[in-house]
């Protein structure tokens, strides 16, 4: 069986509440946008444990999760948005 490197998928995660930029470091590698009382995180998630880590951080902040959507055909607009290799502690 030949295994190929899993490159992940782009996810869009929406929570109720507008997070300030000071929380951006908790979601390193994700683009964070706020609008109309919501925070939208978009970025490449490398595998399921990575996704669960993001969801656990949101839970730990007491945020209401509204949606998690895999964007199978999405490409991030900049290399910096999907560069997870420089993640602190990785």
Q: Kindly report which listed range (11-15, 30-34, 81-85) carries the lowest average pLDDT score.
A: 81-85
**Tokens at 40, concatenated:** 């939208």
| 81 in a structural domain | no
Q: What is the CATH number of the domain that holds 14?
A: 3.30.70.1560
pTM to 2 decimals? 0.74
| 85 in a structural domain | no
> Which of 89, 66, 85, 87 is closest to 24 using CA atoms?
87
Q: Is the pLDDT of residue 17 over 50?
A: yes
Domain that holds residue 48: 9-72
| 1 in a structural domain | no
In the chain, beta strands by DSSP E: 9-16, 31-35, 38-45, 64-71
Q: CB atoms < 10 A from the CB of 46, how many?
A: 17
| 58 in a structural domain | yes
Give the total number of structural domains in the chain: 1
| 35 in a structural domain | yes
Q: How far is CA 34 from CA 1, 19, 37, in A?
A: 44, 7, 7
Q: In percent, how much of the chain has pLDDT > 90? A: 66
Q: Is the pLDDT of residue 74 over 80?
A: no
| 37 in a structural domain | yes
Q: In percent, how much of the chain has pLDDT > 70? A: 73
């Amino acid at each position: 069986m030949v295994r190929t490197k899993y490159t992940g998928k782009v996810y869009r995660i929406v929570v109720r509440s507008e997070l300030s930029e000071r929380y951006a470091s908790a979601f390193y590698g994700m683009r964070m946008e706020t609008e109309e009382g919501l925070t939208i995180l978009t970025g490449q998630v490398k595998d399921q444990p990575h996704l669960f880590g993001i969801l656990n951080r949101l839970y730990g902040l007491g945020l209401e999760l509204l949606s998690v959507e895999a964007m199978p055909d999405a490409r991030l607009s900049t290399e910096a948005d999907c560069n997870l290799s420089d993640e602190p502690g990785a």
